[in-house]
Structure formats: C-alpha cells, structure tokens
C-alpha cells in the first residue's frame, strides 16, 4: 500500500512537471522553451530509468544501479533551479551564448597549443606499426601550411571575439519586452549555435595532412555564419549606436583574415 501511494504521487508529480512545461507560452522565446524542455526531459527520463531499475531488482533490495539512478534524478531536479530568471529569454540567450563561447575558446586554445613551433600535433598518440613512425611527414605541418593556418587562427579568434562581444551586448542591452525583441534574441542564439560546431569543423580540417580545399570550404562556412551573426546583432535592439564601432571592427577582422586565406588557397575553388 505504501508503494502504491508513493507510485501514484510520483506519477502525479511527473504529469505536473510536463504540464507546467506545456503551459509555458511559446511567445516567451524558443531559446527559453528549449532549455525548459531539456530540463523537463532530464527529470522525466531520470524517473523512467529509476523506475526500471527498481522493477528489475529483487524485492526489498537496494542495488548500486538504484543509487546511481536516484542520484541522476536529484541532479536533473537541481538543474531546474538553474533555469533563467527575470528577463527569461534574455537570460536564456545569454546562457546559450556563454556555452557556445566556451566551445570556441577550447578549440582556439587547442589549436594554439598544437601550432607551437616545431610541435608534432599527433605527439600524444603512441607509435603504431600500422600508423608508421612519428617521422611520417603527413603528421607535421609544412611552412606553407603554417602560413595558411595562421590566418585560419585569426578567423577562429575573430569568432571568439564576436561571441564575447555579442554576449556582452545581450547582457547589457537585451530585452524581452516585445515579440520582436524576443525573436531577435532567438535569432542570435540560433546563429551562435551554428558558429561553435563550424569552428570545430575548421579546427579538424587544420590538422595534417592539410587539404587546402577542405580548409577553404570550412572557412567559407565560418565566414558566412560570422557575417550573419554580426549583421543580426547590428540590426537588433542589443546594438545601440554606441556599440556599432566594435561591430565594424570585427567585420573588418573577418574580411582581413578571409582575404589572406583566399590568397593562400587560390585555385582551390
């Protein structure tokens, strides 16, 4: 009887959690809605897993799997308390931009470390009879590669700067008082979510043996996302006239690195 009552209470609580999510107006912003949906899903899936482990265990036993699943439910519930407060969609977009910036920072730092003069980017991989010795020239960058990759690094750093500056603008000027403002914030989050994986793709294409065509294609994709990002920022409410200077500067930085990359990859397209 105690278990039946507990099970009913759990079921009602889960249904209540799902209902609260569905009550969230879509007009509050797609970025906020996705974060709330993900948090809700974590709680529900955690309870499903815990219930499965209880059902599969002998009666009146406590297994390691049950303890782990219980911890998973607690962790999922604690994540709910981290959901945005106040200007909901503004805070949600700021959180999304922060996550993207973290990914790009990691990629930039990894490539900077790998590009240290004379360093073998595969130095952390043990020698293997099938892979060959570390002297294989395909595991090193040529001087021409390094000149190309220097400009690619410039573009990656411009990506980091764009995300950092737009994040600052969203925190300082972002509003969610009207449908237009909410939609503008969502647009910025959507483009930022494209920038971070494209930086990762560019970084992967920079490892030896370098294929200039692959690098050029990834660079073109990166340029498109960055220009879109800066354009949306400049035409949105988060960019008052006082902020237009850094937008123009970053536009110029992207163009500068793109022109250098185009010179290095002439004839690849």
Closest CA to 95 of 31, 146, 141: 31
CB atoms within 10 A of CB 108: 17
CATH of domain 89-265: 1.20.1410.10
pTM of the model: 0.79
Return phi, psi of residue 253, to 5°.
-65, -40
Between the alpha carbon of residue 172 and those of residues 168, 226, 235, 236, 238, the distances in Å are 6, 21, 16, 13, 8
- What pLDDT was estimated at residue 118? 54
The size of the chain, in residues, is 269
Query: Residue 121: its pLDDT value, please?
Result: 62
What residues does each domain of the chain span?
Answer: 1-82, 89-265
Q: For each successive 10 residues of the chain (269 residues), what is the average pLDDT?
A: 90 93 89 92 94 84 86 92 79 93 94 74 55 56 89 94 96 92 94 93 91 91 94 94 94 93 79
pLDDT score recorded for residue 64: 85
Rounded to whole angstroms, how far apart are CA atoms 72 and 64? 12
pLDDT of residue 134: 47
3-state secondary structure of 132: strand
Q: Which residue, chain included where needed, has tokens 């609260």?
A: 20
């Amino acid at each position: 009887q105690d278990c039946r009552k507990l099970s009913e209470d759990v079921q009602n609580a889960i249904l209540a959690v799902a209902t609260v999510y569905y009550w969230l107006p879509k007009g509050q912003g797609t970025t906020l809605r996705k974060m709330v949906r993900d948090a809700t899903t974590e709680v529900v899936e955690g309870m499903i897993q815990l219930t499965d482990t209880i059902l599969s265990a002998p009666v009146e036993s406590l297994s390691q799997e049950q303890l782990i699943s219980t911890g998973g439910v607690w962790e999922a519930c604690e994540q709910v308390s981290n959901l945005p407060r106040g200007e909901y969609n503004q805070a949600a977009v700021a959180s999304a931009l922060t996550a993207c910036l973290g990914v790009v920072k990691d990629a930039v730092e990894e490539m900077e470390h790998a590009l240290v003069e004379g360093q073998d980017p595969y130095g952390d991989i043990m020698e293997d009879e099938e892979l060959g010795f570390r002297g294989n020239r395909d595991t090193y960058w040529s001087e021409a590669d390094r000149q190309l990759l220097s400009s690619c690094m410039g573009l990656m750093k411009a990506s980091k700067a764009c995300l950092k500056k737009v994040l600052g603008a969203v925190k300082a000027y972002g509003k969610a008082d009207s449908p237009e403002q909410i939609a503008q914030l969502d647009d910025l989050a959507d483009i930022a979510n494209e920038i971070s994986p494209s930086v990762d793709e560019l970084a992967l294409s920079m490892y030896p043996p370098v294929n200039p065509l692959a690098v050029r294609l990834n660079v073109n994709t990166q340029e498109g996302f960055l220009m879109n990002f800066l354009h949306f920022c400049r035409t949105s409410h988060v960019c008052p006239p006082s902020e237009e200077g850094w937008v123009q500067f970053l536009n110029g930085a992207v163009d500068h690195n793109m022109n250098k990359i185009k010179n290095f990859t002439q004839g690849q397209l």
